[in-house]
């Protein structure tokens, strides 16, 4: 059988399809951006039909670029933006509303209402998550309450709910398969990560009928086959994982204590805690890292909502740079005597602060401040937030603390040497950049390829991981501590409770 594996990486701002060959090297790529909709301040939506269209276009481009046909592909893996919600008609497959994106904050008041009812501890104990608009459950509840007739139709079994993976599998299989995987399910506020099943009590609180929910499978499993009319051949769908879990797998973080951080639209750090479901005391999330052969591996996760999105803002909003790749070069020219801080709370602050009402702010501007200082502040903000997550993880899981922390990084921002060096400096820890930066897609591809028997097993895949460069910290303690103190002060002044 051919060793070609196709990965669909459905992200927040674009969709990519990548064909990997039998040696796990990129053979063909297709990518397409799609529209971001902002109906109200703090609201973010996507058109599910545009996402679906982007998947078809990019898959066909990737197959063509690889110089193969769909018949040469042994398996398909899917990875996706997590927590984004789609509800569609079970008969027609048509969405009843735009997808509500993970960044969306419209359910902040509903989350506060649930907290006032003293329900957050229950949700956290069952799901490992906090009551925040970030997660899928309150978004789904909003759709059922605000789309005309939706709740009644859902009660009759006429509507399906899914994160993006579920919606794509439904479409790819011609409506034959209504499924998700354990990692995506674990981000919904409705899935009991200890029992590995949908939680009826939480569903009742959120007023969500269980008939709307997909079947939950392992990350490497039989998710169906694509309709042959789409790509001129059936392709088995054998791997699914939410984007951050897929990146963890793609970085071969299979051992307890291994840690990765992905710098895409947002930034997400995961620490593998093995079979231990570590309960955070520092406002981190307990989540499923992956589930293979019925065995669940857990992780501590810290979520930063704005990372690469801040660079997009510099480019498209401020027009301070023409290309995202210009940011590191401009930051390097900033005046070292000016300490400018950007707190990028454009859609609230994530871990470990969890303040959905906070909004972005810049501190330390002087008459001499210019684009260089603001660009540097945007890049440093990602590094400071990463330090916040690392500190919280060390407090929660002391066996993973100390000077032995090595952070494996991936995502678009890690191509910037300046940013990665500053990250190592502010973390006071080595940062490893892999040779293959498409680790999210690679993780999904490995799940599918290993399931199909054409790619190596877990141990073989881990041995194949290769480092492009290690960034060692070289900032002195006094400078680092001064900068970290300034960051803490900036965040304190930004928090709505502060």
Residue-wise pLDDT for 9-62, tens only, equals: 999 889 999 999 999 999 999 999 999 999 998 899 999 999 999 999 999 999
Q: How far apart are CA 478 and CA 462, in angstroms?
A: 38
Tell me whether the CATH fold assigned to 5-244 matches the one assigned to 252-434+466-497: yes
Where the chain has pLDDT below 50, the residues are 400-403
> Is 243 labelled as part of a ligand binding site?
yes
248 carries a ligand binding annotation = no
Residue 312 marked as a ligand binder? yes
Indicate the length of the chain as a whole number: 498
> What's the half-sphere exposure (Cβ side, CA atoms, 13 Å) at 316?
6
Does the annotation flag 174 for ligand binding?
Answer: no
What pLDDT score was predicted for residue 404? 63
Q: Is 13 annotated as a binding residue?
A: yes
325 is in an annotated binding site: no
Q: Which residues contact 132 (CB under 8 A, 6 or more apart)?
A: 111, 354, 356
Q: Is 10 annotated as a binding residue?
A: no
Of 204, 119, 125, 215, nearest to 170 (Cα)? Answer: 215
pLDDT of residue 400: 47
DSSP 280: P
Q: Where are the domains of the chain?
A: 5-244, 252-434+466-497
Ligand-binding annotation for 265, yes or no, is yes
Residue 16 assigned to a binding site? yes
Mapping DSSP to helix (H, G, I), strand (E, B) and coil, where does residue 406 land?
Answer: coil
Tell me whether residue 323 is annotated as binding: no
Q: How far apart are CA 320 and CA 185, in angstroms?
A: 39
Q: Distance between CA 396 and CA 221 in Å, rounded? A: 32
**Would you identify the CATH topology of the domain 5-244?**
Nucleotidyltransferase; domain 5 (3.30.420)
Three-class SS state of 295: strand
The answer to the question of whether 287 is labelled as a binding residue is: no
Rounded CA-CA distance 35/244 in Å is 22
Tell whether 329 is in a known binding site.
Answer: no
The predicted pLDDT at position 403 comes to 46
Q: Give the pLDDT confidence score for residue 394 in this predicted structure.
A: 85
Q: Tell me which residue of 184, 250, 244 sits closest to 436, measured CA to CA.
A: 250
Question: From residue 213, how far is each of 85, 108, 140, 199, 239 by CA, in Å?
Answer: 12, 23, 11, 11, 19
Do the annotations mark residue 438 as ligand-binding? Answer: no
Cβ neighbours around 477 below 10 Å, total: 9
Query: 252-434+466-497 has which CATH code?
Result: 3.30.420.40
């Amino acid at each position: 059988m051919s060793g070609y594996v196709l990965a669909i990486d459905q992200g927040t701002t674009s969709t990519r399809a990548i064909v990997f060959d039998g040696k796990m090297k990129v053979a063909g790529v297709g990518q397409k951006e799609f529209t971001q909709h902002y109906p109200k301040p703090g609201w973010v939506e996507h058109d599910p039909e545009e996402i679906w269209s982007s998947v078809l276009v990019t898959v066909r481009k990737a197959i063509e670029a690889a110089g193969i046909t769909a018949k040469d592909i042994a398996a398909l893996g899917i990875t996706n933006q997590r927590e984004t919600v789609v509800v569609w008609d079970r008969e027609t497959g048509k969405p009843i509303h735009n997808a509500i994106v993970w960044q969306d904050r419209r359910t902040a008041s509903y989350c506060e209402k649930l907290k006032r009812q003293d329900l957050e501890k229950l949700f956290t104990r069952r799901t490992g998550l906090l009551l925040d608009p970030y997660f899928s459950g309150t978004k789904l509840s909003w759709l059922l309450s605000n789309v005309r007739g939706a709740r009644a139709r859902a009660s009759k079994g006429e509507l399906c709910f899914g994160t993006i993976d579920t919606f794509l599998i439904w479409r790819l299989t011609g409506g034959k398969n209504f499924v998700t995987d354990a990692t995506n399910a674990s981000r919904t506020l409705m899935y009991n990560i200890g029992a590995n099943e949908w939680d009826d009590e939480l569903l009742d609180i959120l007023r969500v009928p269980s008939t709307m929910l997909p079947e939950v499978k392992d990350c490497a499993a039989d998710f169906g086959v694509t309709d042959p009319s789409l790509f001129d051949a059936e392709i088995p769908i054998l791997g699914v994982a939410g984007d951050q879990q897929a990146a963890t797998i793609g970085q071969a973080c299979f051992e307890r204590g291994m840690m990765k951080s992905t710098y895409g639209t947002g930034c997400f750090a995961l620490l593998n805690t093995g079979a231990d479901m570590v309960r955070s005391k520092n406002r981190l999330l307990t989540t499923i890292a992956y589930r293979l052969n019925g065995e669940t591996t857990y992780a501590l996760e810290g979520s930063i909502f704005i990372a690469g999105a801040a660079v997009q803002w510099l480019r498209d909003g401020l027009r301070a740079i023409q290309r995202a790749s210009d940011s590191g070069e401009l930051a390097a020219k900033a005046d070292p005597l000016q300490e400018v801080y950007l707190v990028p709370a454009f859609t609230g602050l994530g871990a470990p602060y969890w303040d959905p009402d906070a909004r972005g702010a810049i501190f330390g501007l002087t008459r001499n401040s210019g684009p260089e200082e603001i660009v540097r502040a945007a890049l440093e903000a990602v590094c400071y937030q990463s330090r916040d997550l690392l500190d919280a993880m060390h407090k929660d899981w002391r066996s993973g603390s100390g000077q032995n922390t090595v952070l494996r990084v991936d995502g678009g921002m890690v191509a910037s040497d300046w940013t990665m060096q500053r990250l190592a400096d502010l973390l006071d820890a080595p940062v490893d950049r892999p040779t293959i930066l498409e680790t999210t897609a690679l993780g999904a591809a490995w799940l599918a390829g290993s399931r199909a028997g054409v790619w190596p097993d877990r141990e073989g895949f881990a041995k194949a991981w290769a480092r492009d460069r290690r960034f060692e910290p070289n900032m002195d303690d006094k400078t680092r501590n001064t900068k970290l103190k300034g960051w803490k002060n900036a965040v304190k002044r930004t928090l709505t409770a502060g």
